[in-house]
Structure formats: C-alpha cells, structure tokens
Structure 1
C-alpha cells in the first residue's frame, strides 16, 4: 500500500504523496471534466470503429479514461437505477487499470424535476420527482429544501454520483431568461436561504464519504442577461447591470460560501458596463481571483461552465465554443487565460494535451498546475472515492424512487402550487375546492387520472367545469440546441389565446399554468374561474389541490408582469421591477378545505 492509498493517513498527507507521484499528463487529465454517456444496459459507451467522433457526448469511455487519463465526468443520459450503479462500477474498474488507479468522480445536472434540457437538467425515471427550484422557493420552507437535497444525496450515492452540478444561486431578475426554472426565484434573501439549505442537504456539515459535493452556479450571478437571451449562444453573451445591481446578485453566493459549498461554477456571460474585463466569467481574472478567491476567500474548486475552448457538435448541429470576448484566441491561449483567471478545471472539455503543451512551452508553471490538482485530489479523498468508489446495484434499485421518497416529492409538488385567482367574478363565490364527482372536461390532463376525482366528459356542453393545463408561452426556436431553451416573449399570441378563451366562455374553467419562467396572463386571468400556477407538478399533485385533498401553500417566487411593454421597460439586474404587475411577488391565495 502506497501512502496515498492508506485511509489512516490525513487527507493532506495523501494528497501530497499522490501529487508527487503524478506525471504532467496525469495531472492534466485531472483538470478536465466532460460529458460521458451511458448505454441503457449499463455498459460503457464504446463506439464502433469508424463511427463519427465529433459528438462529445458519444465519445469512447476507455479513450478518455485510459488514453486521456481523465477521471471527472458529467453523466449524460440515464438508465434504470440498477443499470446506472452497474455502469458506475464498470467505470471504476476501468479507472483502476490506470497506473495510479485514480477513481472517477461522476457528476450530474439536476435529475429530480420535470424539465428535460441537456444543458440544464435531465428528468430521470427511477428517481423521486419534485417541483423545480422555483416551486421549492414558492413553499419557502428551508427544512423541506434540506430534506429534498438529502433525498437527492441518497439517490445519487446509490448509483455512484458524487458531484451535483447544482444548486443554482442565480436570481430570476430578468423574466425572459430561459434558465429561471433552475433558480430559487427573484428574492435574493429567500434564494440565499434555499441555496444554503440545499448545500447542507447534499454535503452535510462537512464534506465526507456520505456527501455529494455541491458545485454552486453560476458565479457571480447569471440572471441579468441582456434582453433575457441565454449565454449559451452568441446573441446572449452580454450580462448587463442597468440598475447598478451587481452586488445584489452575490447575496445567494455568500450564503453558499457560509454553507461550505465545495465547488463554484462561473457563467458563460461577459459583464458589460462594470469594472471587470469584458470577457466571459470563466476567463475573468478579476472575477475569479479578485472577487471569488481574494474578497470571499474561496479556496474550493472552480470549474468553468461547459465548452469554453473547443467548437463541437451537439445533437448533430454545430455548437461554437462559448469563448465570449476571447473568440480571437486559439485553443491553447484560451486555456492559458482560464488558468490565469484562477479556474481549476475546464468543464465540457476533453483536451488535456493543451495543458501539457502550455507547460512544455513555459507559458504555465507546474506550481500553478499543482495548486489546482491538489484541490481536485483533496475532494476525491474527502468523498472517500479512493477507499471505496463502488456501489451496490441491489441497494440502488431499492433506494431510488422508494415509496418514501416518491411520496415526499408528490407532497412537495402539491404544496408548491400557487392559487392566483379563485373567483369567476367579483360577485361570485370561490370555485375551489371542486366537488368530488363533478362533471369535468379536461385538456392537457390524463383522463384516467382525472377520473379518480371527477366524472370526465368529452364535450364542454356536458361539463360543469373545465380543467386546462398549459405552459408559459415562449418563442419557439428550432435551430439545434436552441430548441431546448424556452426564451423570448412571455405573452400568448391571439391564435394561442383563442381556444383557451373559447373554453372559458363556454364553461367555468380552471387554468393551470406551468411557470418555467414568468408569464403575461391578463386575458386568461380575467376569464378564468380559477387560475393556478405550478412549477412542476403531476396531474395527481394538481388534482389533489383542486379537490381539497391537499393544501396548496405556494406563493409566487417572482412577479407576473401585466404586459410585455412592462417587461421591455425593466432592468435586467433588478428583480420584480414592474410598476403594476398583474400578480406581485409573494402573491398566493389559500383554498378553504371542503366543509363537512
């Protein structure tokens, strides 16, 4: 047994011993984390000879582990929990064949919600299902968030995932931004409490063998996107502060530091009109070294967002590197600038040879490399990966999606639902809760689920009430990766409104709107008999609320503007700044339980 393999030695001693044994190539491999795919049967992905090699999410597992000597991977795709556990064990077996046997750290974007976006979250069958983060903020219960993250931790541990690429500490200050669904809403202090509770649920009081490390993102706050466009794309590369509100977006990150987040991810965007260099945050020395390292004293791992260096293809479409502000630099120079900025690891990249090239050329010193590698190794040791990286597939099958966890997620879905309106007219009585067995016409609802609560009828003429589930509107974009981002307008077109309002005119109608970001709903709010919002809720969770079986506790985690003119006039960095919102931040009604 070498000293670094001895679990009785202090972590720092093990890090020092292993660091001294590593070649430059092994160190460079540690500094890259990219996507890795899984086959449905839990086997490692190994493309056939001659298969296209320009899709990083279908790259050869063995080539990355034993060829490039990489051992941090972001799991893309999913399989049944048992198969995911078996895949982890096969991956760790492969890593054990390398010279030093450094185990793999498997990471993931969120997997416990309803949204399925390759850039933000992966809905995964077999895990418990919860409202998206704005729904947790709508409840506002820190202990619930901690319990939720603890369940996430237990399900992740069961399949071998040891690093969560979350929580998201960004603020929903720009209502058009396509990634609001990952945030805890627009209030910085509420978000701070939620983020801290989430980190405690994942990591515990201190990082250890039973922890999942948290990579809090996207420093220094990704919400103030110009015109709400996303920084994955060239037209969304600018982050702006017309309200002079830069420091306000740091409040949730300050809570993350206090909670002990193990890692931080800077965002893609480049700050405009600030004292900082107008380059992407991952390249930004003033932000990473000056603000994060020096002002806040953060000495954990800093990993860039995905794909700052290398152009690639995603889902068959070209996807240029997010090298905002440094597009003119070649790949080695981009890596050099990232390292000079203070980042430890490059996300979404698989090019360790660039670090080797920079060191051999004398452009980056070994002391700089060793500082980052030591941080990365230390986390592996603290997580216990060197002592036992394997998991039990039987336990994974038993733990993931257990009755207890599933029930907890369903209860949270119902609690998060927000009642925006519950009265057909000023003179009418509330319509909620609905009476059991009522004749109900449904749209966007599984009739088989609805039949457990009501008599489902096919036509509006037969119905006493209609239930219509819709999503917040957006401008559909169909160019490759862009189609996953619901961006642009927040209001419904005339063509979209017409059938909805026709239903409301024919029969008292309950509208449920899925708010993955704010929506402009004045016409629907006026005509609805009742209007409710959800942030990820099953038909069962919604119907339990509407029929009075479960109490809705949700309060809006962001305001709903009255018009797109109000949205356009707002400041991207100032939360909830409409002069006359249709529904203000914190709005929500209580539904009285049915009388006996």
Structure 2
C-alpha cells in the first residue's frame, strides 16, 4: 500500500528544508561561525550548516574579473572567488586602482545573506607582476641558480607585502614543477631539474608568502595564501610538450615530481592547483587516485584544491560530465573562468541527479570556507590600512638586485676578461635586447605572454652598465652588427636571448639562438676585441658552435626589472656565485638530458649540473 503524504506536510518539509531535504539552520545572524574565538575548523563547519545548495555551489566558482557580466553577479550567484588572469587589470593599472576594484568586489560579496567574503587570486609568480610599477624578481630558474632558500623566503615576504597593498590575498605560486626537458615553454617557472632543489626553494617561497607557522600565520594582515602548482608532473611530459602526457613509472613520479609537494605540505601550503597535463594518458583533473588518494590521503593535505584555467573544458563529454569528473576527482574550486551561470546550473543538476553527492559538495565547500577563516577574511574582508608605497619600494628593488647578482652564472671567462674596469674602459654594448626591459622580465609580466619594450618601471642592462661606470660617455650602444665598425672600443658586451613567452606559446623544438643573435656574436668576435656575451633566457640555449667566439659568457636567465644586479657582476662588485640548476645540453639531439643521464654520458653536456665559475 502506497503512503500518500498530505500536501500540507510536504509544504512544511519544503519550507524547513529548502535544499531538497538537506537540513539548513535558521537564523545565520546567531551562527557560531561569527565567533572569532572558535577555531577555523569549527567556524567552517557551522557556516556550512546554514548554506543552501545554491550558496554552496556558488562558493565553488572562481571567475575572472573580465568575464563578470556585472559586479552584482557576485552576490546573485554567491561566487566564492574572483581572479585576475595574466593581463586582467583595472583600466588604470595602479596599486590604488587595484585596491579599489578588489574592495568593490568584496563589498558585493559581503552584502549577501551570509556575508561570505570572496577570495581574490592572481598569478604573482615573480613579483606582483600584473601591476605596473611592482618589482619584478628573477623568474624561478634564476632563483634556482642562487640555491639560496633564505633569499627566496625574503623574496616571498616582499611579494606578499606588495600583493597585500592592492587588497589581494592569494597568489597562484610557487610553481614547484621539476622540468625534465628544456623544450618545455614553462621551464623558467621551475627552480631546476633536481627535485631536492625545487623542494627546498618551493618550501622557502611558501614560508615567505604565508609566514610561519602556517596555517596560523595566514591570519596576519601581511601574509597571503600560497599555491603549489601544477599537481603533478607537469614538467615531465614527453617531448616537453605543454599540457602533454607524462609517461612515468610510479617510482619516477614519486622520486622526481611528487617530492616538492611533500615539502610544500610540510610547509603548510594553503592551496594546490591541479595540472592541465596527463600521466600515462589520464588527465590530472580526472585523476582521483592522485588527488584524493595521494595528495589528500597520503600527504595529508587539508587545504584548498583548485583547478587551472578552464581545465575542465579539456575533458571529454558534456559540460555536466566534465564538471562531474573534476569535482568527483577531488577538486574543490573550479577556475571556470567565464560561464559561471552555466556552471551553477550544471552542478545543481548533477547534485539533483545524484551524479555528484551532497557529501562531496560539502567537502569542497568546507575547504573553501576553512581557507577563508584561516585567512582572517571574516574579521578583515577589506583592509583599510594598506601601504601603497610598498609596491615597487626601494627595499624591494634592492632585494631584487641582490637576487639578480646571485642568480648570474659565469660559464666562461677566458683570460680573466671579467670583471671589467669601471674607469677608462671604452665599452661597446651590442644588440637591441640590451635596452629592453620586457625581454629581461619575460612572460607573466604585465601581460600573460609578456612583451618587448618598457613594459613597467625598472633598469635595463644598458642603463645599469652606464650607471656603473665612472664615465657613461665611454659606453656606446649599437643594435646591429653592421654598426660595429663605426665605434672604437676596448671590449664588446653582446646581449642576446629569448623574447618573452609563457605557457602554450613557449614550446620549442630548436633551442639554438636566432640567426640575428648568432651573427651579433660572430661579427663581434671578428673585431679581435674581447667579447663578453650576456645571455637572457628562460632555459639553456644551444650555443656549442658559438662558444669559441666568446671570451666570457654570463647566463643571466630572466632577471626582471633590476638590471643593476648584472652590472654588479660585470664590474666585479659581486663575484659570481650562481650555479646551473639544469644540465646545459650540447645539442638538441641529446634532449631530454637529465642529471642522471649526463652523469653516465658527460659528453652530452656542454656544462654539467651545478657548474658555475667565479672570479
């Protein structure tokens, strides 16, 4: 016999349990989550009990500011996070405008029924690099050449101070990838190819961003949430292909690529971003075994797991199927970054149909709320006493200059041509990259891919050389080899290297210098003058056939805005201490060339891992 419930009883159930029978508490103004004396865990659990399913799903959505149809949609859809992708900036790119923009978004969130503040995230990967005038530090490959965790931690502190000054509290850094093939366009985002080096420096940068001991230190107003990325083996793909497939044994995965995450979790990292790439044919965003089993279970990570930019769209199936795969794999927050209306509707449908369980939604939202409570956002959603002068401050520029000079690797110095004398030396600086701040900074600088020219405030290599010498008039700059004969000089400094690029557009099957750069070096050598080559690059380049045409060679990586650090080394104010964080390949044919492989076959390396001369 069927049990037909009276209509009035069904109506009561609906009113009491608006989330399809899932109990939701009554008056949130009396919620224990408002009591700051309770632990973040207790507060997150209590707040979760007041939330409807729509509010929970909104918290799982991260939207790029440029895709918001209206700021009011933050409140209407209960969005959990906003981000600025590379180059996604307010119309006036100033610290004050950033703060005004972020605060405006935060006020929208605070006007909702529960007043849950948003997280605002940004790729501050080598400084607060989306903000004009911020200090741009060396990319991670340069920091890897310093091998200095204490320096890296200080850099993390400086970056946090600049990020906080713009009202932002979450950086998608550090990248703790372990690149194994320099053809990969994101090689410069890794500290090096040795997992132990990456583990040490990655943990140091996390401590700098978040303070110690985390997570308690996250509540301080001068710290930001760090993100270890991209989980896992993004640097191990076959052929160095971005978003490719890493074909690995479990031993290789654990020994090389998982190692930095062990230390990141020990350092208390607050969030982890999942990789676009695959492992043995399985997309990481679908890899429940590694996300839930290893990261959550084995490593004990209890922070927030976030997807990469629209990564769910690279999975097979309908939108609902893609989202079900990612959420069920263990990702808590989805970087959509555009169609948040479609996202909310799709996830709600998945829950109604039982494809994604309410328990899984609660787990994800709990992690998001826990992160917000740990950051102190409920007590300090809008920080009133920020110091805009922190952005691009002189102490931070001095720190970046220190990092630059410690990152420079001296690879050749025949006849002791370096250091140069500051007095009475006629110096010819050759090449247009010598006076190009955008080239020095590389990708992820003001725009996503970076670009050439004076993209922000800083000192180019040419400007630094002129500042360092006693008589700047003795320094001449020419851009082309054809102009060499017009200048009398005692030494030639040739600046060559890569033009800016970032993910997707940086993969290369030929790492030789361009024909134009090679001609600069060859023509300079034909003058009979000492030739000093300064190589600006995000990875080792193939220079074997050009090495005899140089008397000295400096690998300066992507040094950022403070070119004075390079001049410090050129003129002997600082004797070089940098060591190669990668094996330098002799030719393209030997790639991929790991530390272990070069140990067995040293003839494949032009310079071994850890190589670096001094004065």
TM norm structure 2: 0.81
Distance 2:536 2:84 in 1: 27
Give, in whole Å, the separation in 2 of the partners of 1:579 and 1:28.
55
- SS of alignment partner, residue 368 of structure 1: helix
Task: Name the structure 2 match of 1:73.
Answer: 82
Q: Which of the residues 181, 185, 196 maps onto 2:203?
A: 196
Would you say 1:400 and 2:391 are equivalent positions?
yes
| Within-5 A mapping of 1:289-368 | 289-309=292-312, 321-323=313-315, 327=316, 329-349=317-337, 350=340, 351-368=343-360
Over 3 Å counting, the alpha-carbon distance change for 1:466 and 1:255 in structure 2 is same
* Aligned CA-pair RMSD: 2.5
Q: Is contact 1:432-1:530 (8 Å) kept? A: no
Deviation of 1:294 after TM superposition, in Å, equals 2.1
Say how many residue pairs are matched.
528
Is residue 2:431 matched to residue 1:439?
no
Per-residue CA distance 1:306-338 (angstroms, 9 max, x = gap):
2123xxxxxxxxxxx322xxx2x1111111111
Shift of residue 260, structure 1, vs aligned partner: 1.2
Measured in 1, the distance between the counterparts of 2:297 and 2:209 equals 26
| CA drift at 1:494 | 4.8
In structure 1, the partner of 2:98 is 84
Deviation at 1:405, TM superposition (A): 1.3
- For 2:466, which of 429, 438, 451 is the aligned residue? 451
Is it true that 1:526 corresponds to 2:548 in the alignment? yes
Deviations 1:210-240, CA, capped at 9 Å, x for gaps = 2311110111221111111101xxxxx3222
In the superposition, relative to structure 1, how do residues 365 and 561 fare at CA in structure 2: closer, same or farther (>3 Å)? same
Q: How much has 1:111 moved relative to structure 2?
A: 4.9
Tell me: CA distance 1:241–1:577, structure 2 relative to 1, closer, same or farther (3 Å). Answer: farther
Residue of structure 1 aligned with 2:513, choices 492, 496, 512 = 492
Choose 280-289 or 199-208, whichever is displaced more. 199-208
Kept in 1, the 8 Å contact 2:72–2:108? The answer is: no
- CA distance in 2 between partners of 1:416 and 1:576 (Å): 24
Residue 511 (str. 1) matches residue 533 (str. 2): yes
How much does 1:552 deviate?
2.6
Equivalent in 345, 353, 367 of residue 375 of structure 1: 367
- TM-score by structure 1 length? 0.83
Residues 550, 123 of structure 1: CA spacing in aligned structure 2 closer, same or farther, 3 A cutoff? Answer: farther
User: Relative to structure 2, which stretch is displaced further, 173-182 or 429-438?
Assistant: 429-438
| TM-aligned CA distance change 1:89 to 1:543, over 3 Å | same
Structure 1 gaps of 5+ residues are: 37-56, 114-120, 232-236, 273-277, 310-320, 592-596
Change (3 A) 1:229 1:18: same
Structure 2 segments unaligned to the other structure (5+ residues): 1-28, 436-461
Secondary structure in 2 matching 1:192: helix
What is the Cα deviation at residue 500 of structure 1? 2.5
Distance 1:161 1:308 in 2: 23
Out of 182, 190, 198, the position equivalent to 1:183 is 190
Is the Cα contact below 8 Å between 2:595 and 2:609 reproduced in 1? no
Residue of structure 2 equivalent to 1:46:
none
Write the distance in 2 (CA, Å) between the matches of 1:165 and 1:142: 19
Question: 2:263 matched to which residue of 1?
Answer: 255
SS state of the match for residue 131, structure 1?
Answer: coil
Q: CA deviation at 1:432?
A: 2.4
Does the C-alpha gap of structure 1 residues 14 and 493 become closer, same or farther in structure 2, counting only changes over 3 Å? closer
Match of 1:167 in 2: 174
Match of 1:52 in 2: none
How far does the alpha carbon of each residue in 1:534-556 deviate from its partner, in whole angstroms, 9 at most, with x for none? 12224322122101123332111
Alpha-carbon contact 1:177-1:517 (below 8 Å) kept: no
Alignment correspondent of 2:495 = 469
